[in-house]
Amino acid sequence: MSSTTDARYEASLALRPNSLARYLSLIKKDADSRLTDKLQERGYVNFRLSDMVLLVNIDPYGTINNELAKKARISKQAMSKIVKSLIAEGFIGTRKHDTDNRASIIFITEKGKELMINASEAVEELTAFYTAVIGQDDMQQLKQILGRLLEGLENL
């Protein structure tokens, strides 16, 4: 390695402890771990938190697979795999589309609704935990900042 590369590498290492990417990654890992634990405590031992990407994007009256994939920003093939898994677990079901014979509507079953209720309660508990760590004012400010960031990303 050249001395220029070494110097640039050392400079990048110095930035790492305060990196936004590092902070976001660590918080996501913590939140995922805590939410998984909370769902397992409620009896959802086989549920993968990563499958929540499908459930949170299903409209109350159902959604087609292609639309779910688009909303979740994952491939149709990946979405189909998650759909099969969640059907097997009984969290979602399918029915024929009213007007398009090629499409099926994916909907949340009663078991899936119970999961969503439990997940929502777990998120509220997690939010309360984090609020206890940083305080109510900072939590409100954090939510506002993240909301603005998401809005900005959606407008790109």
Say yes or no to pLDDT of 130 above 90: yes
CB-based contacts of 19, cutoff 8 Å, min separation 6: none
Give the model's pLDDT for residue 19.
Answer: 94
Nearest residue to 87 (alpha-carbon basis) of 68, 70, 100, 101: 68
8 A C-beta contact, residue 84 and residue 125: no
Say yes or no to pLDDT of 1 above 60: no
* Within-domain flag for 4: no
8 A C-beta contact, residue 104 and residue 94: yes
Q: Which residue has the tokens 């119970």?
A: 114
* Within-domain flag for 6: no
Q: With b meaning 16 or more CB within 10 Å and e meaning fewer, what string describes 120-150?
A: eebeeebeeebeeeeeeeebeeeeeeeeeee
* Within-domain flag for 9: no
Give the model's pLDDT for residue 144.
Answer: 98
More confident residue, 94 or 156: 94
| Statement: the pTM of the whole predicted model exceeds 0.75 | yes
- pLDDT tens across 49-69, in order? 989 989 999 999 999 988 888
- pLDDT tens across 81-126, in order? 999 999 999 999 999 888 888 888 999 999 999 999 999 999 999 9
Domain count, the chain: 1
* Within-domain flag for 14: no
CATH number at residue 53: 1.10.10.10
- Number of residues assigned to the chain: 156
Print the domain residue range for 115: 20-154
Helix (H, G, I), strand (E, B) or coil at 122: helix
Average pLDDT, the chain: 93
Percent of the chain with pLDDT over 90: 75
Tokens of 119: 């997940």
Give the model's pLDDT for residue 80.
Answer: 86
8 A C-beta contact, residue 130 and residue 139: yes
* Within-domain flag for 40: yes
Q: How far apart are CA 128 and CA 136, in angstroms?
A: 9
* Within-domain flag for 101: yes
* Within-domain flag for 2: no
